Each structure stands twice: as C-alpha cells, then as structure tokens.
C-alpha cells in the first residue's frame, strides 16, 4: 500500500524536514530536537486545557486522560502545544500505549500518580485466549486526531508511537506499572507458550495502532520499549525481539523511518537494527559516541539526561553541548531526552535547549557546507 496523496510525505510537505533528513542519515539544515513527553503536564496551557474539560459531558467511559486521548480535537490541540511553545522539530502524537488495548475492549484506566491500571490482569493461558482482537475501525478517533494535527503542522513532521510488545504485556500481566516486571518475567519462564501468545497479541494491537497513525498522516514512527531493559539479552532476543520486529512490520510498505527507544537496553543495542529499527533512541546511561561505535552507520536519537533540566543554565548548556559533540559520531543525530520530560520541568528550559541546539548546529552545518563547496574559480568535479 502507498500513502494517500494528501499525506505529508506523499505531497512532500515534510520530506525535507530536518528530523527526517537526520533519521535518513543525511545532513539537515540544523540538528533537529524534540522531547519525549513534550506534551502534557509540564505545560501550563495543557493544565489549563485539562481543567477546562475536566467536567465536560461525554467522552469515553474510561474518563480522565484516556478520554482526552480519544477526543480528536483535544488530542490534536495537546499534540500541537509544545510545537508552538518550544519550536521543536517534530510533534509526537498525544496518546498512551494502552489506548489500543482500551479500544480492543479491555478495561483499563489511568490512575493519577500511578499510570495504567488493569482490574483484571492477564496471567494465564486462558486469560490470553480471552483477549479481544482490535477492530481497525475502532481507531477512527485516532485517525481523525492525527489528520487534524498534521493539517496544522504544515512542514513539521508528526511522529506516531506505540508500545513495544514486552512493555505492553508487562502492564497487562502486572496489572499496572512495576519496578521490576517480576510477574511478567516469571510468566515468560513458567508459561513460555502463553507468554508468546500474549506478546503476539500485543504486537498486533500496537502494530495496528501504529499503522493507523501513519496512514492518517504521521511521517515517522517510534516504538517505546520502556521495560525491555529488565530482561536478559538472551530472553529479549529469543522471546521478545521477534514480536518487536512484528510491531515494526505492521508498517511494511509505508516509507516512514522507524525509531526504537528502550530504557536500559545497551546490552542489546547491536541487535536493534536487525529487528526493525532504522533509528536507535538512546537513554541517558550510555554516551552517544559509545553507541555509535557499536552500531556504525546508524542514526541515533538522544540523550540529554532529564535530571539536568533542574540545573543552572550553565550546567544545562554544557551538558547539551556535550551531547551534540558525541552525537557527531553517529550517521545522523536527533537531540532528545534520554527519557521523558519530568512533570515539574520549567518549560522555558526546554525552549532554551531548542534555541541552543538550533543556533549551535546551524552554524556547524553552514561551515560544513562551506568547506565542502569548491573555492570560487576552482574546477568542481562536474567542470571537466
């Protein structure tokens, strides 16, 4: 399948955007920057919008944030807010990795201060067999929200996203967030066949969610493997990686770059390109130049330490410049955090980081182009 004619990539609106050039390993006009969790609680305009809609009638029975995710107008507005405020080089669709699970018919709610919570965890083979399949038609509100968003973004790309199968499975098995994913890891060892079926279901759900966003207008896609780092290399490769690859495989035939971001996954970073990733997102733990040495020729994304956002301006500046310097070792570099924006972050800090990255790298890009150009009067390679 090809993209619709009005898709931002098919029409060329986003094809030359700095983000996509960097994702392709090309030299962009400046190093692009966006932030995971850039939309949401750190923005006063987001808090005001949520307060305004807190008592609004209608919405989804799940209520709260999930209702906002399924309101196309609201989801589009929240997605656009950080682009307007910070001038970032990409928007990432405002949603949650459990939204497709909810739309498949599984009861889930988001509890303030905790995260997604399932009243009926999935822990046995019969629990897995009872999971309903996701009807693509149920994703109509997602498609509409994406279409509304890209209509406002113009040449700025929208990034689709979904949860990696193990991360999504962990929430289902644990019944909510967990520090060590102990129940999920135990199920993988005690009931490997049932766990494989659960991972396959999660891959189908996340893949369908991801594809719907891309078909509706997203120009790139990112899979979040938030809990993949809790697994050993062997378990991730043997039991999980094939399902992660199937999630990315849902985008086969669609010409969008695919990003894999995982926490604590330095031990498998060499394998990520073989399992669907065109770009590797790096958390704050491993310097970018060290990752580039392991996966030469692969574009990287990251990896400002979110903890630095509360430091003095001079500390922030030095850290960002160090990330930029190390990122030059990669085939392409997109600046991001090594995880998400903490909710207590002063949004002005993020705006200043965007300005710093753009200023510093626009000068560098201009110098590189100048050095590559033949001197005036000299014969270039096409001059004979």
What pLDDT digit, counting tens, does each position of 261-308 carry? 999 999 999 999 999 999 999 999 999 999 999 999 999 999 999 999
- Is-catalytic flag, 50? yes
- Tally Cβ neighbours within 10 Å of residue 53: 15
CA dist., res. 227 & res. 178, Å (int): 9
The answer to which of 97-101, 131-135, 355-359, 377-381 has the lowest mean pLDDT is 377-381
Model pTM score: 0.92
Q: Which two tokens stand for residue 353?
A: 């980081």
pLDDT band at 379; cut points 50, 70, 90? very low
pLDDT band at 383; cut points 50, 70, 90? very low
CA dist., res. 340 & res. 286, Å (int): 16
- Is-catalytic flag, 135? no
Coil/strand/helix, residue 49: helix
Q: In terms of Cα–Cα distance, which of 150, 186, 183 is closest to 75?
A: 150
Q: Are 333 and 361 in contact (CB under 8 A)?
A: no
Identify the active-site residue in 41, 143, 183, 285.
41
Q: Please check the confidence at residue 378 and state whether its pLDDT lies above 50.
A: no
Q: Please check the confidence at residue 51 and state whether its pLDDT lies above 90.
A: no
- Is-catalytic flag, 23? no
- 82-112 pLDDT, tens digit each: 999 999 999 999 999 999 999 999 999 988 8
- Tally Cβ neighbours within 10 Å of residue 329: 16
Q: In terms of Cα–Cα distance, which of 318, 220, 210, 303 is closest to 264?
A: 303
CA dist., res. 40 & res. 27, Å (int): 31
Q: Are 115 and 189 in contact (CB under 8 A)?
A: no
The answer to which of 12-26, 44-58, 223-237, 246-260 has the lowest mean pLDDT is 44-58
Identify the active-site residue in 13, 21, 23, 37.
37
The per-residue pLDDT for 113 is: 77
Distance of CA 204 to CAs 87, 95, 382, Å?
Answer: 34, 18, 51
Strand partners, 384: none
CA dist., res. 330 & res. 354, Å (int): 20
CA dist., res. 153 & res. 299, Å (int): 24
- 20-31: average pLDDT: 97
CA dist., res. 43 & res. 362, Å (int): 27
Identify the active-site residue in 13, 46, 85, 171.
171
Q: In terms of Cα–Cα distance, which of 373, 280, 263, 350 is closest to 22?
A: 280
Q: Are 229 and 102 in contact (CB under 8 A)?
A: no
* Pairing label, strands 109-111, 115-117: antiparallel
Phi, psi for 259 (deg, rounded to 5): -110, 135
Q: Please check the confidence at residue 206 and state whether its pLDDT lies above 70.
A: yes
Q: Which two tokens stand for residue 299?
A: 């574009």
Tokens 């990896």 -> residue: 303
- Is-catalytic flag, 171? yes
**Residue 95: in which H helix or E strand, if any?**
none
The per-residue pLDDT for 320 is: 98
Q: Which two tokens stand for residue 137?
A: 């038609």
Q: 313 CB contacts (<8 Å, ≥6 apart)?
A: 352
Q: Are 3 and 10 in contact (CB under 8 A)?
A: yes
Q: Please check the confidence at residue 131 and state whether its pLDDT lies above 60.
A: yes
The answer to which of 114-118, 159-163, 322-326 has the lowest mean pLDDT is 114-118
- 217-270 pLDDT, tens digit each: 999 999 999 999 999 999 999 999 999 999 999 999 999 999 999 999 999 999
CA dist., res. 75 & res. 70, Å (int): 7
pLDDT band at 151; cut points 50, 70, 90? very high
Architecture of the CATH domain 18-368: Alpha-Beta Barrel (3.20)
Identify the active-site residue in 71, 89, 96, 283.
96
Q: Please check the confidence at residue 366 and state whether its pLDDT lies above 80.
A: no
Q: Is 347 left (phi over 0), alpha (psi -120 to 50) or beta?
A: alpha
- Cα 137 to its chain centre, rounded Å, is 23
- Tally Cβ neighbours within 10 Å of residue 362: 15
The per-residue pLDDT for 275 is: 97
Coil/strand/helix, residue 111: strand
- Prior bond to 303 cis, omega within 30? yes
The per-residue pLDDT for 50 is: 83
Q: In terms of Cα–Cα distance, which of 101, 102, 119, 92 is closest to 63?
A: 102
The answer to which of 48-52, 310-314, 323-327 has the lowest mean pLDDT is 48-52
- Is-catalytic flag, 96? yes
The per-residue pLDDT for 363 is: 67
């Amino acid at each position: 399948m090809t993209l619709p004619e009005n898709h931002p990539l098919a029409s060329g609106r986003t094809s030359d955007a700095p983000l996509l050039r960097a994702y392709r390993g090309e030299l962009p006009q400046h190093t692009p920057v966006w932030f995971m969790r850039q939309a949401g609680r750190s923005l006063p305009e987001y808090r005001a919008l949520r307060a305004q809609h807190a008592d609004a009638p209608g919405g989804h029975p799940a209520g709260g944030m999930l209702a906002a995710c399924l309101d196309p107008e609201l989801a589009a507005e929240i997605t656009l807010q950080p682009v307007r405020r910070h001038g970032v080089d990409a928007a990432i669709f405002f949603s949650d990795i459990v939204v497709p699970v909810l739309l498949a018919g599984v009861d889930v709610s988001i509890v303030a201060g905790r995260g997604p919570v399932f009243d009926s965890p999935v822990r046995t083979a019969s629990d897995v067999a009872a999971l309903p399949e996701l009807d693509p038609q149920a994703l109509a509100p997602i498609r509409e929200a994406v279409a509304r968003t890209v209509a406002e973004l113009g040449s700025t790309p929208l990034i689709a996203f979904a949860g990696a199968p193990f991360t999504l499975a962990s929430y289902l098995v644990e019944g909510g967030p967990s520090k060590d994913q102990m129940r999920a890891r135990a199920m993988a060892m005690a009931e490997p066949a049932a766990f494989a079926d659960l991972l396959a279901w999660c891959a189908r759900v996340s893949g369908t969610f991801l594809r719907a966003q891309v078909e509706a207008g997203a120009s790139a896609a990112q899979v979040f493997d938030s809990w993949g780092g809790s697994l050993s290399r062997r378990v991730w490769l043997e039991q999980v990686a094939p399902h992660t690859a199937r999630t990315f495989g849902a985008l086969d035939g669609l010409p969008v770059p695919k990003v894999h971001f995982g926490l604590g996954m330095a031990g498998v970073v060499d394998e990520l390109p073989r399992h669907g990733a065109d770009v590797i997102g790096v958390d704050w733990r491993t310097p970018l130049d060290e990752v580039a040495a392991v996966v030469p020729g692969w574009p990287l994304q990251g990896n400002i330490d979110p903890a630095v956002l509360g430091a003095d301006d001079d500390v922030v500046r030095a850290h960002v410049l160090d990330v930029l310097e190390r990122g030059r070792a990669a085939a392409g570099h997109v600046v991001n955090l090594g995880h998400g924006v903490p909710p207590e972050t002063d949004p002005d800090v993020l705006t200043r980081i965007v300005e710093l990255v753009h200023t510093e790298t626009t000068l560098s890009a201009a110098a590189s182009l100048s050095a590559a150009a033949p001197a005036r009067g000299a014969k270039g390679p096409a001059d004979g």
